[in-house]
C-alpha cells in the first residue's frame, strides 16, 4: 500500500511518492525557508510527502521536472529511481536538459540515456559520479556555449 497521499494534478505524470525536488537537491525559498544542498530539505516535507500540499507555495505548484512533464522521458528516469532531476533550461537559441544530481550513485543508464538523446540531436549537461562536468550534444556551437558558460557559473 502506498502511504503517500493521492493528489489530483493535471500537469503531467503523477509524482506518486517522489519527493526529490523537496529534498534539498534544488535551490528554492519556500515560505522564507531556504532549501538547497547545504540547507537541506524543505521544512514542510514529511514522511508522507508535502505537509502543506493544499496551500504550498506557487513555486511548488508550478514546478515541473522534465520527467513529470514529458512522457517521452522513460519511466526509469523518474527522479526517485534515477537519482537525477531533469530540468529544462535555455542558453541563447538552445534548449537543453540539466541533469541535477539528487542522490548517489547515479546509475550508468542515466548517462547512456543522455548520450542516446544527444544522438537524436538533443542536448544535456550534468555531472557524472566522478564529479566531471559533461556535455551530451553533437552540436559544436552548443558545446562551445556551454563550456564558456561553465567557466563563469555553476550550471
Write the pLDDT tens digit of every residue in 70-97: 999 999 999 999 999 999 999 999 999 9
* Pairing relationship of beta strands 28-30 and 33-35 according to DSSP bridges: antiparallel
Write the pLDDT tens digit of every residue in 107-133: 999 999 999 999 999 999 999 988 899
> What is the C-alpha end-to-end distance of the chain, expressed in Å?
38
Rounded to two decimals, the pTM is: 0.88
- CA distance to 48, 64, 75, 106, 147, per residue, from 155 (Å): 31, 18, 25, 18, 10
Model pLDDT, residue 89? 96
The β-bridge partners of 97 are 88, 124
Residue pair 95/87 in contact (Cβ under 8 Å)? The answer is no
Amino acid at each position: 500500500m502506498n502511504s503517500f497521499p493521492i493528489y489530483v494534478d493535471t500537469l503531467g505524470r503523477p509524482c506518486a511518492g517522489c519527493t526529490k525536488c523537496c529534498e534539498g537537491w534544488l535551490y528554492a525559498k519556500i515560505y522564507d525557508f531556504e532549501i538547497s544542498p547545504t540547507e537541506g530539505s524543505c521544512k514542510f516535507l514529511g514522511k508522507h510527502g508535502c505537509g502543506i500540499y493544499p496551500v504550498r507555495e506557487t513555486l511548488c505548484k508550478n514546478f515541473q521536472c522534465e520527467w513529470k512533464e514529458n512522457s517521452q522521458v522513460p519511466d526509469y528516469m523518474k527522479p526517485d529511481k534515477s537519482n537525477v532531476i531533469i530540468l529544462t533550461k535555455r542558453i541563447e537559441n538552445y534548449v537543453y536538459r540539466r541533469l541535477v544530481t539528487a542522490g548517489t550513485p547515479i546509475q550508468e543508464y542515466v548517462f547512456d540515456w543522455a548520450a542516446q538523446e544527444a544522438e537524436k540531436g538533443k542536448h544535456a549537461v550534468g555531472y557524472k559520479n566522478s564529479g566531471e562536468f559533461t556535455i551530451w550534444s553533437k552540436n559544436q556551437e552548443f558545446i562551445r556555449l556551454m563550456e564558456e558558460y561553465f567557466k563563469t557559473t555553476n550550471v
